[in-house]
Amino acid sequence: MELEAVTSPVNQPVTWQVKATENSESPPSITPEDGGQKAKLKTDKTGSFSVIATLNSSKVVWNVVFVWVKVDVSTSVVLTRDDRYADAGSNATFTSFQSGTFPGLASSDQYALWAKVEKVELIGGGSAKSLGVDKVKLHILQNGIADSLTGNYSKGGTAREVPKGGLPVVDATDASSPFITIAGVTVDVQPDNTSAKRSITTGDSPAGGFPVKHKNDATQVLQSISGSNDFLTAIASTSDDAPNAIVVHAQLSWKADFKGKVDASGIYTSDGARTSADSRFALISEATGGQDACDAGYETFEPRFNGGTDTTWHP
């Protein structure tokens, strides 16, 4: 965390100090920079602290709380389904297919991927270690990391799905945030998103589609589907006081392989389609409990994977 002292006259060096406030955790280190005009505060401690900047007889105190989001990945439950790959309303001009449905997370067997972490503990500041916990919200942040989904046509032509903006690409519910947000359907935090002890559940069922006739040669018709959508799904957090600072704590790698056949009327049927995934979430940084989403390689800005894709035609 970078800090800067604003002084009068300007550009005066100050003395920096950090003290613990109502907690037993030792304070994080602070390193002066630019001759003391700035400082870098480490965020590797849990608890409440006072950052004190002193210039002669003038003193400014800034109170901070660092909350540890402790994800117990050993309590992960990851379920995948291969039997939900099906046609999704194809017609004579366009073939649509899906890997599952979205009936609500209580129906875990309807999703291509359903995953839950039973135990997430938040440890905050103060003597009770609860200060600041209610301000930290858990989220699901998902990125598409690979896309080989391809429509194969009767004379060797292909159509390849290409995410807008390249990879990785954020796979959010809508443009209002970078997260998966449909409560009870794609994400669920229990008992609520303010308690010190929580669980978090998510589910997804990717879908796709291609025109029945090849764009460059209408005599070629769609015969099969191959390839996959690959994802990284992370348990992330933000603070009410810093909603744009996203930290990722644990992640799960998985993919939906849509291998299937397309009949003369454009209807898709699974022919080896399957979902594969890690057996459980893995911590992104065991030493610190989390990492800035950008530093961890996650995309958080538009365009979205599910906001529309491009198609590369061959030949």
Tell me the pLDDT band of 44, cut-offs 50, 70 and 90.
Answer: confident
Separation of alpha carbons 271 and 255, rounded Å: 16
Phi, psi dihedral angles at 136 (to 5 degrees)? -95, 125
Separation of alpha carbons 250 and 77, rounded Å: 13
Tokens of 150: 């391809």
Q: In whole angstroms, how far apart are CA 217 and each of 93, 210, 231?
A: 14, 14, 32
Flag the least confident range among 32-36, 102-106, 147-151.
Answer: 32-36
Q: Is residue 152 within a helix (H) or strand (E), and if so which, with residue range? A: strand 150-153
Separation of alpha carbons 100 and 110, rounded Å: 6
**Would you kindly state where each structural domain of the chain is located, as residue ranges?**
9-66, 69-314
Q: What does the pLDDT read at residue 24?
A: 82
pTM given for the model:
0.93
Report yes or no: 276 and 254 within 8 Å, Cβ to Cβ.
yes
Report yes or no: 68 and 122 within 8 Å, Cβ to Cβ.
yes
Read off the amino acid at residue 72.
D
Average pLDDT, the chain: 96
- According to DSSP, the residues that pair with 256 across neighbouring strands are 229, 275
Separation of alpha carbons 9 and 93, rounded Å: 72
- According to DSSP, the residues that pair with 253 across neighbouring strands are 232
Q: What does the pLDDT read at residue 288?
A: 85
Residues 6+ apart with CB under 8 A from 168: 143, 144, 145, 232, 297, 298, 299
Report yes or no: 44 and 77 within 8 Å, Cβ to Cβ.
no
